[in-house]
């Protein structure tokens, strides 16, 4: 009977794979699909974990379509893409006049998804205040619309996903521990592509066939060395990155017989031999983090030195205005912070040299004009991170060590296209 049950589960898993177009035979992937099928018939909350780009978005749909709620609404919400100031209104709704611009009352996603399923992607990006509201929904199905004191009820199945280590987020005070245990009733972990072995080749073949049809070109063939190169690579971008590589090769290569050399040509040059590491993070990423930390340290030191120098110059100008007929002296230059390669004085002043004060204001103005503000440096850092990650905002936010929501806000604030 146990054997029949296993066969039945495997048959159900294969059916789901065909239904959702899931490619691969990795045991960890099959277990994740089987878990989603089994938990679908309950109302338990589900937490889906895995790296960015592994295909977490399929599993809430598996849960929903195999549940008794399949005729209800399915709403997917990217929590990291909604500004912090409007996230509560988006999720729970608001009443008229609740805030500036609230000219009408609005239903939130939890009202719209009543009797259905709501998928909260990037749940770790929720503000702590919103996490408290979500916990109340999980505990008793109650919530308050923004600006209202009337308790409303919803009967909704909640499925969440994140690529963040929530235990670390809890330790850092960025995620509520009680919410974590409520969400993590049934955990489903999606394996990274680098851990799925020959699934990489199967996925590449599927993508290349799709692109051959899409662009009306002959399909490409991988030799054994090319297959080995695909399996050995660490795929930090997981399935998204593999799909991009398959598309590039399908379009650009005239020779449809693909060798290892061709595959390596399309992989990032500084990651060709980047095998999985214990930390799960590339040495390149660590190097960039170190460079970024040094840059910010230099910026803050520079700003402090600039402020101190401006204060001293301002005090000299004030002293002159109070005693216009008395000769004034600059302080010993050893007391003035030195900012190398940043300030070129209009003239050289020696210690204890008597001077006129008409040029002092000119020096301050010239100095301020040549100083790069922290806002400008922040904008340059964002532009650099976006360019480095080819416009991928989620990866750029990771490099900058900020949330994706914060990055969206900064991009809008600085008018970055």
Domain boundaries in the chain? 2-191, 194-271, 291-371, 375-414
Q: Tell me the average pLDDT across 48-68.
A: 96
Contact 48, 159 (CB under 8 A): yes
| Residue 382 burial (CB count, 10 A) | 22
Evaluate if residue 77 carries a pLDDT over 70: yes
Least confident of 244-248, 266-270, 367-371: 367-371
Q: Cα–Cα distance between 275 and 272 in angstroms, integer?
A: 8
Q: Confidence class of residue 286 from pLDDT cuts 50, 70 and 90?
A: very low
> What pLDDT sits at residue 319?
66
How far from the centroid of its chain's Cα atoms is residue 8's Cα? 39
Evaluate if residue 61 carries a pLDDT over 80: yes
Going by C-beta distance under 8 Å and a sequence separation of 6 or more, which residues neighbour residue 41? Answer: 66, 67, 68
Q: Confidence class of residue 376 from pLDDT cuts 50, 70 and 90?
A: confident
> What pLDDT sits at residue 359?
47
Least confident of 228-237, 261-270, 274-283: 274-283
Question: How far is CA 138 from each of CA 133, 158, 166, 168, rounded to the nearest angstrom?
Answer: 9, 8, 18, 22
Please tell me whether residue 9 adopts helix, strand or coil conformation: helix
Q: Cα–Cα distance between 114 and 73 in angstroms, integer?
A: 8
> What pLDDT sits at residue 2?
41
- Report the DSSP beta bridge partners of residue 94: 106, 146
| Count of positions (residues) in the chain | 417
> What pLDDT sits at residue 79?
95
Q: Cα–Cα distance between 159 and 171 in angstroms, integer?
A: 23
DSSP letter string, 163-209 = SS-HHHHHHTTSS-HHHHHHHTTEEEEPPPGGGSTTHHHHHHHHHHH
Q: Cα–Cα distance between 316 and 304 in angstroms, integer?
A: 19
Q: Tell me the average pLDDT across 390-403.
A: 83
Q: Considering the domain 194-271, what is its CATH architecture?
A: Orthogonal Bundle (1.10)
In the chain, the N- to C-terminal Cα span, in Å, equals: 61
Give the CATH H-level superfamily of domain 2-191.
P-loop containing nucleotide triphosphate hydrolases (3.40.50.300)
Evaluate if residue 288 carries a pLDDT over 60: no
pTM (2 d.p.): 0.64
Q: Cα–Cα distance between 248 and 262 in angstroms, integer?
A: 11
More confidently predicted of 28 and 299: 28
Residue from 168, 42, 147, 170 nearest 101 by CA: 147
pLDDT > 90 in the chain, percent: 58
Q: Confidence class of residue 364 from pLDDT cuts 50, 70 and 90?
A: very low
- CATH number at 375-414: 1.10.10
């Amino acid at each position: 009977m146990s054997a029949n049950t296993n066969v039945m589960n495997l048959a159900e898993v294969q059916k789901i794979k065909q239904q959702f177009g899931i490619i691969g035979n990795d045991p960890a992937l099959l277990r994740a699909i089987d878990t989603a099928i089994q938990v679908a018939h309950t109302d338990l909350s589900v937490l889906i974990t895995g790296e960015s780009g592994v295909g977490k978005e399929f599993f809430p749909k598996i849960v929903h379509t195999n549940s008794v709620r399949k005729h209800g609404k399915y709403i997917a919400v990217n929590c990291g893409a909604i500004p912090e100031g409007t996230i509560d209104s988006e999720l729970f709704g608001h009443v008229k006049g609740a805030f500036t611009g609230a000219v009408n009352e609005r239903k939130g996603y939890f009202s719209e998804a009543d009797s259905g399923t709501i998928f909260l992607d990037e749940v770790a990006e929720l503000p702590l205040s919103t996490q408290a509201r979500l916990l109340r929904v999980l505990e008793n199905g109650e919530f308050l619309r923004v600006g209202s004191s009337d308790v409303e009820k919803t009967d909704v199945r909640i499925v969440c996903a994140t690529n963040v280590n929530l235990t670390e987020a809890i330790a850092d005070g960025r995620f509520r521990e009680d919410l974590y245990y409520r969400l993590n009733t049934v955990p489903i972990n999606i394996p990274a592509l680098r851990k799925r072995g020959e699934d990489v080749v199967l996925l590449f073949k599927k993508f290349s066939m799709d692109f051959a049809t899409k662009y009306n070109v002959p399909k490409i063939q991988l030799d054994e060395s090319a297959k080995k190169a695909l399996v050995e690579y660490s795929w930090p971008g997981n399935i998204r990155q593999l799909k991009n590589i398959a598309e590039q090769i399908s379009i650009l290569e005239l020779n449809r017989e693909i060798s290892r050399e061709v595959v390596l040509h399309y992989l990032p040059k500084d990651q060709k031999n980047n095998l999985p590491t214990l930390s799960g993070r590339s040495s390149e990423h660590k190097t960039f983090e170190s460079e970024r930390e040094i840059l910010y340290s230099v910026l803050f030191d520079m700003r402090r030195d600039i402020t101190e120098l401006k204060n001293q110059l301002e005090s000299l100008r004030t002293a002159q205005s109070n005693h216009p007929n008395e000769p004034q002296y600059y302080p010993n230059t050893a007391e003035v912070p030195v900012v190398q390669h940043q300030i070129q004085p209009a003239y050289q002043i020696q210690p204890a040299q008597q001077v006129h004060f008409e040029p002092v204001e000119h020096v301050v103005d010239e100095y301020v004009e040549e100083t790069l503000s922290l806002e400008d440096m922040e904008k340059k850092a964002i532009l650099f991170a976006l360019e480095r990650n080819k416009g991928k905002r989620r990866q750029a936010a990771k490099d900058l060590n900020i949330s994706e929501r914060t990055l969206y806000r900064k991009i809008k604030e600085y008018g970055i296209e």
